[in-house]
Amino acid sequence: MTFEEKITQAVIESIKELYDSTVGAESVTLQKTKKEFEGDFTLVVFPFLKMSRCKPEDTARQIGEKLLEKLPFVQDFNVIKGFLNISVRPEEWIGFVSQECGNDRYGVKTAPEGAAPVLIEFSSPNTNKPLHLGHVRNNLLGDSVSRILEADGNRVIKVNLVNDRGIHICKSMIAWQKYGNGETPESSGMKGDHLVGKYYVEFDKHYKEEIRTLTESGMSEEEAEKKAPILLEAQAMLRKWEEGDTEVRTLWEKMNSWVYDGFEATYRTMGITFDKTYYESNTYLLGKEIVKEGLDKKVFYRHTDGSVRIDLREDGLDEKVLLRSDGTSVYITQDLGTALTRYNEFHPSRMIYVVGNEQNYHFDVLKLILGKKLDYDWGKSIHHLSYGMVELPSGKMKSREGTVVDADDLMADMIAMAAENTAQMGKTDFTPEEAAKLAETVGLGALKYFILKVDPKKNMMFNPNESIDLNGNTAPFIQYTHARIRSLLQKAGFSLENGTLDSNTVLGDPEKEIIRTLYDYPACVEQAAAEFSPAQIANYTYELAKNYNRFYQECPIMRETDTAKRQLRLAISAFTADVIRRSMKLLGINVPDRM
């Protein structure tokens, strides 16, 4: 049991003994004591005043005296108004370090046997363009949340849904047919996803030219946007695809295969893996069946234009199209089918969708249809992990105009910046292979950390130069702290087997502060899992690294002549390095032993 759990139990018992009242654990509020006060844990006593019929200060003192009787690890307490500050004995903190330093399961819970898994969908790219900066935030969030949920004792299934059919890919296909001259990834030297994306941009260029020609001939812009010949060709191709036209399907399979090869290379660099990949082309027909079921149940209705819709105005939303008037499916059609497919396959306790906040309405509708209108119990388990947009200082991304911030280019640039920084620092003791590996570790770490340290719900600006700075709240700062500790431990030849820690060692404030930060790690993982927020882990790790550097400056280690103190400080250092490594791993970031 943690200190908090033991204190909570003792408080419940004390309330019963002092005031003959029964309270639950939810009534016991424990906080970390503020730095300006003495203590480790602070109990808020205001909820107990009606039971005690005493002043807040008297109530706090009464409970404090009981805790001294019941808990041997409590050294002392003090009272500030309605707050009881509890101090833990120094030897208990030293015992904590001795027990947990080297524990490879520290901060990790084991999933209960037979527990239903948590299914998390992320990435979800379209096959008409390469992954871009927005996908980077999506992938990093999905991957990190998966790692955090797993550390918190969940069995996690990571899935990808590839939007491999629809008007978007037909636009690239039409443009390639008309203007590609048989170009392939091999003949062009381009990654497949980049090549297909090139023709998506090409489509948009010709589409705009045709709109301009039609409007100059007297057609309204709105009508021209609908009647541009190249768009009509793409729409006709989509209908042929849904009818199973052999020629269209063959071209679709060829161009999608180019994209998949490109995606796989990007995922590999990013360190992203999936347990299963779904394809919209395999699930949209089931979605159509669900729409038919909804029509039969009169949950949905057929509009006068032939489309199938649901009226959600009584639920605070509006009308939602589920099938177009020509019978072709829309995004929510396949999402209905995919959700049912996943439930039947895995029976997850939760289905988490990592998708940008521009799709908030879409997921409100999806959950409402499945969980309430069609009355699938599992539909209520859907959770949309909505996140804000990410931009570069140069401005927003607009993929159809060809100004996309490409994920591959961004990662390559970050790695190159890291290599340049290392060279400028005059590091000469690395082989070329080691230097390249270090640049990748630092460059990708900088990118991942800078994005993940921001609350997912917030929009953010990614600044490459700021992200790779060795000072401040960055991955390189944390990575350097880890490397410094590993160098120290190697130099000292430290091992806990060299001798147990002396519990009578005098514990100074810097040591206490860093130990207390290490103690907070499991609670941080638990909170990050509850809030689906890697930012909790990132900012905890930064505080840990900062606290360690302060400890390192104020507490001599190699020059310490007191053997017990030196061993304790080395143990704290080893413990810190381990927690930095494991917490950064939850963010998908590696930490080097040398920098």
Residue 333 is classified by DSSP as H
Residue 167 CB neighbour total at 10 angstroms: 15
Q: Which of 235, 234, 213, 238 is nearest to 223 (CA)?
A: 213
Strand order of the β-sheet with 319-323 is 301-302, 308-311, 319-323
Which CATH architecture is the domain 3-88 placed in? Answer: 2-Layer Sandwich (3.30)
On whether the CB atoms of residues 43 and 66 are closer than 8 A, the answer is no
- Residues with Cβ < 8 Å from 338, sequence gap 6 or more? 161, 278, 280, 283, 286, 287
HEC string of 346-394 equals HCCCEEEEEEEHHHHHHHHHHHHHHHHHCCCHHHHHEEEEEECCEEECC
Q: What is the pLDDT of residue 394?
A: 67
For residue 346, the model assigns a pLDDT of 97
Domain boundaries, the chain: 3-88, 165-274, 407-586
Helix (H, G, I), strand (E, B) or coil at 115: coil
Nearest by Cα to 383 from 168, 532, 220: 532
Return per-residue pLDDT of the chain as tens, 595 residues: 899 999 999 999 999 999 999 999 999 999 999 989 999 999 999 999 999 999 999 999 999 999 999 999 999 999 999 999 999 999 999 999 999 998 999 999 999 999 999 999 999 999 999 999 999 999 999 999 999 999 999 999 999 999 998 899 999 999 999 999 999 999 999 999 999 999 999 999 999 999 999 999 999 999 999 999 999 999 999 999 989 999 999 999 999 999 999 999 999 999 999 999 999 999 888 999 999 999 999 999 999 999 999 999 999 999 999 998 988 888 899 899 999 999 999 999 999 999 999 999 999 999 999 999 999 999 999 999 999 998 888 654 444 444 568 999 999 999 999 999 888 877 778 899 999 999 999 999 999 999 999 999 999 999 998 999 998 999 999 999 999 999 999 999 887 665 578 999 999 889 999 999 999 999 999 999 999 999 999 999 999 999 999 999 999 999 999 999 999 999 999 999 999 999 999 999 999 999 8
**Type of residue numbered 158:** K
CA–CA distance, 119 with 141 (Å, rounded to integer): 14
| 152 three-class SS | strand
Please give the C-alpha separations between residue 490 and each of 32, 269, 554, in angstroms, as whole numbers. 34, 30, 21
268: Cβ–Cβ under 8 A, 6 or more apart, which residues?
Answer: none
Given a contact cutoff of 8 angstroms between Cβ atoms, the answer to whether 179 and 210 are in contact is: no
pLDDT at residue 296, rounded to an integer: 92
Is residue 311 classed as helix, strand or coil in its secondary structure?
Answer: strand
Contact between 555 and 547 under an 8 Å Cβ cutoff? The reply is: no
Residues 443 and 450: their CA atoms lie apart, in Å, by 11
| Token output for 202 | 């090409």
Please provide residue 308's backbone torsions phi and psi, each rounded to the nearest 5 degrees. -105, 130
Contact 122, 156 (CB under 8 A): no
Rounded-to-integer distance, Cα 361 and Cα 516, Å: 43
CA atoms within 13 A on the CB side of 170: 19
Q: Quote the pLDDT of residue 330.
A: 86
3-class SS of residue 437: helix
Please say whether the beta carbons of 138 and 102 come within 8 A: no
User: What pLDDT was estimated at residue 497?
Assistant: 63
CA-nearest of 294, 292, 314 to 369 is 294
**Whether domain 407-586 has CATH 1.10.238.10:** no
Return d(Cα 387, Cα 458) in angstroms, integer.
7
